[in-house]
Amino acid sequence: MRIAIEGPVGNLEARWTEAKSSIEVTALLCHPHPQYGGSMQDAVLETSANVLLDHGISCVRFNFRGVGASAGQYDNGIGEVDDLIAVHAWVHREHPTHDIWLLGYSFGANIVWRAQEALAPSHTILVAPPVGMMTFTESNTPASVYAIAGDRDDFVK
């Protein structure tokens, strides 16, 4: 179901997909770099969502500011963290009993990493985190962190 979530600079275009046999967990999926065509329609996020849904985990995919129908413009990863925080707040309001997981792919993995201490997810999943291109500082998150990376990805190395 397509929805609009109030973000820091206007509405964020989002898609809520409830798992058929929900275990009261919702994953927030963050897309690759907006300036290189990243959006919530990304094929890796689609695959990730399908796997999560098959395991009873509902999903929210959303476009960062300036992507698709989301208001605003790219903010060098700073405002995009605020976008994720706004989506997290929406899920918390709409589904207060749900455990919230974070999943980010590439640029989205960096946004998730930088937001996780503020959001305190129980699980963080980083898909192809671009540690060779972006800063991933030490984190004190209590979350279980999973990283999925290819051994031939120049941005991950």
pLDDT digits (tens, 9 = 90+) for 76-113: 999 999 999 999 999 999 999 999 999 999 999 999 99
Among 103, 156, 112, residue whose Cα is nearest residue 134:
156
Residue 118 above 90 pLDDT? yes
* DSSP code string of 126-146: EES--TTTS--------SEEE
Separation between Cα atoms, residue 9 and residue 98, nearest integer Å: 26
Task: With beta carbons less than 8 A apart as the criterion, state whether 10 and 67 touch.
Answer: no
Among 94, 134, 144, residue whose Cα is nearest residue 111:
134
pLDDT of the residue at 157: 59
pLDDT more than 90, % of the chain: 86
Report the b/e string of 114-150 with b at 16+ CB within 10 A: bbbeebebebbbbbbbbbeebeeeeeebebebeeebe
Separation between Cα atoms, residue 12 and residue 79, nearest integer Å: 12
Separation between Cα atoms, residue 154 and residue 157, nearest integer Å: 6
Average pLDDT over residues 41-53: 97
Q: What is the pLDDT of residues 20-34, one digit of tens each?
A: 987 999 999 999 999
CB neighbours of 41 closer than 8 A, spacing ≥ 6?
none
